[in-house]
C-alpha cells in the first residue's frame, strides 16, 4: 500500500526483452498494491549514438566545432522520450494501463544551464491524477524544461536526479534504482576483486563515495534523497535480490570505521600562481569557475613570501575544455605576474565512513597502506567522514586495493557488508 | 528581401552530408537577403525504425497488440526532433546563427486525433522574433501538441502540412518543398517512363492529383496553401533546378485539357447491403466513419426494389483495420437484414485538368483508352476537373500508361510540361 518510484538505467532498457523485464517489475510492484512510477534512461548506447551524429554534422572541412549546448540538449532529450513511449507500450501490452510523460509534460522545471541543468520544481498533480486512476506512470529521466520551454538535460547521472526528485515530490516510500549491478560495493569490483556488496549505508557516506568516483549514484541525487528523507534502494534489474539501502544514519553504523573506498581517475590540477594575496581574490576565481558550471574538486592555497599566493584546485579532466578559457581570462584580469599551470594524469583514492567521527588513527592507517604499496601522496584532503589522497593516475588501482585491504573491507571479514 | 519557408523530406536529411547540403540551401537563401525558416522530417528510415521498435515491445508471447496511439505519437515525434537539432547544429557549424523548435515550442496546437491530428493554430511570435534577429529558424515537421500538452503527429505527409501552415501564418513569399524528385510529373515516372515534369499547376489540379495518389504533396497541404494564397515550389534537394510551381489558376491553364494522370493502389470497397432506405441513414453511416478519422474515397448508393439500399464506398486498404469494427457496429445498429461485404484488390486511375471545365469528350477519350487496353471499369466518379475509374488492382499500371498516352501527356508533345 505504498508509493514506489523505480528507475531503470540505459542497460536495463537496452532492447525490447529488457524493456519487458522492467515493465514486469513495475507491474509486480503494482500488483503488490503499490502506486508505481517508473523513471527511465535512454536505451543502451542511444545517447552516445546521438552525440556521434552531432559530431558528424559539426564537422566542416575536417574541423569539428562545438555545437550550441541548447541544441545538444534538444537532441539528447529524444533518447529518454523514445524509452518512455516504448515502456508505456510494453506495460500496456502486458495488460496494465500506463502513460508516459516527458520532463516537460510533468512540469519538471530547471534552470537554463544546458547540459547540466538543476531541477527547480515538479508539478506532481498530473502524476497523482494518473496514479489515483490506477495507471502506471512512466517518466523520462535526465531531462527537464526551462520556464521558456527550452529542453534541458541534467548532466551525468541525471536520471537518478529525476528518480529522487520525483520520489521526493510524491513523498514516495522508496526509490528503487535498478542497475546492472547488485548494489553498492566496498570498492569498484572491476578494480578490487574481493570487494563486497554493502547492505546499508548512510546518505552522508554515499554522498562522499559518489563524489569520489563511485559511479552508481551521483552526489546530488543522494543529497536530495537525504534532504527529503527518501530511502534509496540500489538493485539489479536482472534479478530479485536485495541490493543496497541508502538511508538515514543509525547508531550501529558508527561501529564501522570505514564503509567503503573509492578511486577517482582522470583528474587535472590547475595552479594559478602569483595571485595577489588580497581578500576576495579566491572568491572571484571560484565564482568565475562556478559561473561556467564546472565542479571543482579539492582546493589548496599557499601564501608565498612576496605577498602573492598559489591557488591550486583539481577538476575532472573532461571539464578542461570548458575551464581553460575561464582560467585564461582570470589570469589576464588578475594582472601582472599571474600565470596558470595545468597538470594532468592525477587520481584520488579515498576512504569513507561515519565511524571516523568517533575513531582515531584512520589517517595513519591509510597513509601507511599507501606507503607500503610505494604510492607517493601529492595532496591530502579530509572531511569529518572521509580521507582523500591525490596520487599519480598510474598508481590508482593498486592504491585502491591497498587501502581496501588495510581497512579489511573485503572477503568474509567485510564489516560494512553485514550492516 | 522575402520570407522563404523550405522543407526537406526524410531522404533529403538522411545523413550528415545531406543535412549539410540542406543547411547550405538555407544559408544561400538567407544570403540572398531572405528570412529563412526550414521545416524538416525525420532522417531517412527513422520513423520506420521507431515503428519497428514499437512492434517489438507490443509483441507478447508471439502476439502483437496495437499500441496506444497517444504513446505511438509520443514515440514518433522524436524523429523530427533529432533532425531539427542536427540541422540547427549544421547551420551553426557552417557559420550562421540558427535555432530549432519542436511543434510544441512554436505553439503548433492540434486537435487530439493522435496519428492524424489537424493543425489549429501556430504562435508565430517566437519565430518572428528569431527571424528579426537574423537567425535561421528550424521547425520540426509532422508534429504538434494538444492544448493539454500531449504530442501529436499529423499523419502521412504531415511535414508538408507543417510547411504550408508555417508559410501561411508567416505570410511567406514561397514555400519550397525539397524532395528527391525534380517536381510534379504528368504521372508517376516509376510506372510511366515517358512522364514529364510539370512547370506550373493550379492548386485545384494539385489537390485532385494528391487525393488520387500522387505522393509528393498531400491534399490538405495544398488546400491550405490555396486558402492562404501561398505559392508552393516543389524542388529537388540534390540540384538547383526549377521544379514545379503550384499556384493560383491562370487563364492559360485552361487551354490544357488534362494536366496529369494518377493511380491509387490498394483500395478496398466496402458494401453495406439492405440498408433501410430512410432519410439520415447515409449521414449516420458516414458520421460514424468520419468519427473514427477514416477518409472515405468514392461513395455509390443504389436503391433496391424492397425499400432498402446498398451503400458502397472505397477506403485505402491500410485503414481497414480501424474501419472493420466501425462497420460491424453499424451493421448491428442498423438492424435486421443488413450485412457488410469487403472487396480488396482494387485500384483507381484518374485524369485531372482545369481545361475539362471548357472542353468536352474527355470522359469518352478516357473510357476508350481503357477499353483498348482491355481494362474493365468497375465504377466511375467525376468532379469538375477529374475523371476516376475504379479497376482491378492488377491492371493499374497498364491503365495509367494507357490514359497518359491517350491524353498525350508524355514525350515532346507533353502540353502541361510547357506551361
The ipTM assigned to this model is 0.81
Position of cell 501538441?
Answer: B145
Min mean pLDDT across A38-52, A300-314, A390-404, B237-251 is at: A300-314
Q: What is the pLDDT of residue B186?
A: 94
Distances (CA, A) of A29 to A32, A231, A248, B269: 5, 16, 24, 48
Range(s) for CATH 3.30.2130.10 in chain A?
261-418
Residue B3: pLDDT band with limits 50, 70, 90? very high
Tell me whether residues B82 and A70 touch, CB distance under 8 A: no
In degrees and rounded to multiples of 5, residue B267 shows phi and psi of -100, 150
For the entire predicted model, the pTM comes to 0.82
Q: Find the CB nearest A74 among B68, B94, B100.
A: B100
What's the confidence (pLDDT) of residue A74?
Answer: 98
CA distance to partner chain A, nearest, from residue B81 (Å) = 7
* A20, A81, A105 member nearest B78 (Cβ): A81
SS3 A54: helix
> Are A89 and B78 a contacting pair at CB < 8 A?
no
Top-confidence residue, B251 or A349: A349
Reference B234, options B198, B186, B188; nearest CA is: B198
Which candidate, B172, B343, B222, places its Cα nearest to that of B273? B343
- Going by C-alpha positions, the residue among A60, A38, A237, A210 that lies closest to residue A141 is A38
Q: Which residues of B touch A50 (CB under 8 A)?
A: 82
B177: three-class secondary structure by DSSP: strand
Question: Which of A138, A103, A139 lies closest to A121 in space, CA to CA?
Answer: A103
* pLDDT single digits (tens) A40-90: 999 999 999 999 999 999 999 999 999 999 999 999 999 999 999 999 999
Q: Helix or strand or coil: residue B152?
A: strand
**Which listed CATH number (3.10.150.10, 3.30.2130.10, 3.30.930.10, 3.20.20.20) goes with B261-409?**
3.30.2130.10
- Distance (Å, rounded) from C-alpha A24 to C-alpha A38? 11
Q: What does the pLDDT average to over A304-325?
A: 87
**Number of helices (H), then strands (E), in chain A:** 11, 20
**What are the tens digits of pLDDT across the range B355-408?**
898 888 899 999 999 999 999 998 898 888 999 999 999 999 999 999 999 999
- Indicate yes or no: CB of B58 within 8 angstroms of CB of A100: no
Tell me the pLDDT band of B211, cut-offs 50, 70 and 90.
confident
pLDDT digits (tens, 9 = 90+) for A128-182: 999 999 999 999 999 999 999 999 999 878 999 999 999 999 999 999 999 888 9
Write the pLDDT tens digit of every residue in B362-375.
Answer: 999 999 999 999 99
Flag if A93 and B59 touch (Cβ within 8 Å): yes
Cβ distance of A57 and B82 shorter than 8 Å: no
Nearest to A260 by CA among A390, A409, A412: A409
Cell of A242: 536485495
Q: Is A85 in CB contact (< 8 Å) with chain B?
A: yes
* DSSP label at residue B13: G
Helix (H, G, I), strand (E, B) or coil at A5: strand
Q: B50 — contact with chain A (CB < 8 Å)? A: yes
* Range A261-418: architecture per CATH: 2-Layer Sandwich (3.30)
**pLDDT number for residue B62:** 93
Q: Which of B20, B65, B78 sits opposite A82 (nearest CB)?
A: B78
* A57/B99 touch (CB, cutoff 8 Å), yes or no: no
End-to-end CA distance of chain B: 27
A20/B89 touch (CB, cutoff 8 Å), yes or no: no
Select from A181, A194, A283 the least CA-distant residue to A236.
Answer: A181
Mutate to test the interface with B, among A74, A146, A147, A153 (most CBs of B within 10 A): A74
Who among A16, A57, A92 is closest to B67 (CB)? Answer: A92
HSE-CB for A332 with a 13 A CA cutoff: 6
On whether any CB of chain B is under 8 Å from the CB of A149, the answer is yes
- Confidence label for B415 from pLDDT (cuts 50, 70 and 90): low
The residues, ordered by sequence, that sit 6+ positions from B52 with a Cβ below 8 Å of its Cβ are: none
For residues A6, A9, A10, A15, the Cα torsion angle rounded to the nearest 10 degrees is -40
- Locate CATH 3.40.1160.10 in chain A: 3-180
pLDDT at residue A307, rounded to an integer: 79
What phi and psi values does residue B40 have, to the nearest 5 degrees? -125, 155
pLDDT at B336: 66
Nearest CA distance, B381 vs chain A (angstrom): 42
For residue B263, the distance in angstroms to the closest alpha carbon of chain A comes to 36
Q: Phi, psi at residue A139, to the nearest 5°? A: -120, 135
**Domain A3-180 fold:** Carbamate kinase (3.40.1160)
Cα-based angle B148, B152, B158 (whole degrees, multiple of 5): 145
pLDDT at residue number B274: 87
- Please state, as a whole number, how many other Cβ atoms lie within 10 Å of the Cβ of residue B414: 21
**pLDDT per position as a tens digit, B36-51:** 999 999 999 999 999 9
Residue B335 has pLDDT above 90, yes or no: no
Amino acid at each position: 500500500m505504498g508509493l514506489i518510484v523505480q528507475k531503470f538505467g540505459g542497460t536495463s532498457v537496452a532492447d525490447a526483452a529488457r524493456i519487458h523485464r522492467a515493465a514486469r517489475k513495475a507491474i509486480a510492484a503494482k500488483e503488490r498494491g503499490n502506486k508505481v512510477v517508473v523513471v527511465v534512461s535512454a536505451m543502451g548506447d542511444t545517447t552516445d549514438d546521438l552525440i556521434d551524429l552531432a559530431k558528424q554534422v559539426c564537422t566542416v572541412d575536417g574541423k569539428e566545432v562545438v555545437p550550441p549546448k541548447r541544441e545538444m540538449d534538444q537532441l539528447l532529450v529524444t533518447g529518454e522520450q523514445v524509452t518512455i513511449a516504448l515502456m508505456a507500450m510494453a506495460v500496456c501490452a502486458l495488460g496494465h494501463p500506463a502513460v508516459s510523460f516527458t520532463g516537460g509534460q510533468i512540469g519538471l522545471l530547471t534552470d537554463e544551464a544546458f547540459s547540466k541543468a538543476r531541477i527547480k520544481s515538479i508539478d506532481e498533480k498530473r502524476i497523482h491524477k494518473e496514479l489515483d486512476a490506477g495507471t502506471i506512470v512512466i517518466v523520462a529521466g535526465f531531462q527537464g524544461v526551462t520556464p521558456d520551454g527550452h529542453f534541458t538535460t541534467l548532466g551525468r547521472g541525471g536520471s537518478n536526479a529525476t528518480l529522487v526528485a520525483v520520489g521526493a515530490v510524491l513523498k514516495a516510500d522508496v526509490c528503487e534504482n535498478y542497475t546492472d549491478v547488485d548494489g553498492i560495493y566496498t570498492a569498484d569490483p572491476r578494480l578490487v576483486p574481493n570487494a563486497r556488496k554493502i547492505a546499508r549505508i548512510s546518505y552522508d557516506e554515499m554522498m562522499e563515495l559518489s563524489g569520489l568516483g563511485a559511479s552508481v549514484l551521483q552526489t546530488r541525487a543522494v543529497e536530495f534523497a537525504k534532504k527529503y528523507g527518501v530511502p534509496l534502494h540500489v538493485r539489479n534489474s536482472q534479478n530479485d535480490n536485495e541490493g543496497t539501502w541508502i538511508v538515514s544514519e543509525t547508531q550501529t553504523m558508527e561501529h564501522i570505521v570505514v564503509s567503503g573506498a573509492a578511486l577517482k581517475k582522470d583528474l587535472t590540477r590547475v595552479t594559478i600562481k602569483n595571485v595577489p594575496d588580497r581578500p576576495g581574490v579566491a572568491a572571484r576565481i571560484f565564482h568565475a569557475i562556478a559561473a561556467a558550471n564546472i565542479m571543482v574538486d579539492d582546493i589548496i592555497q599557499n601564501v608565498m613570501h612576496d605577498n602573492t599566493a598559489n591557488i591550486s584546485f583539481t577538476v575532472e579532466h573532461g571539464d578542461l575544455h570548458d575551464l581553460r578559457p575561464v582560467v585564461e581570462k582570470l589570469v589576464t584580469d588578475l594582472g601582472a605576474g599571474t600565470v596558470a599551470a595545468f597538470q594532468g594524469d592525477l587520481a584520488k583514492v579515498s576512504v569513507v565512513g561515519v565511524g571516523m567521527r568517533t575513531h582515531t588513527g584512520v589517517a595513519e592507517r591509510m597513509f601507511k597502506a599507501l606507503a607500503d604499496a610505494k604510492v607517493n601522496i601529492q595532496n591530502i584532503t579530509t572531511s569529518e567522514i572521509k580521507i582523500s589522497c591525490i596520487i599519480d593516475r598510474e598508481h590508482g588501482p593498486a592504491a585502491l586495493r591497498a587501502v581496501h585491504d588495510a581497512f579489511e573491507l573485503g572477503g568474509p571479514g567485510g564489516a560494512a557488508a553485514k550492516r
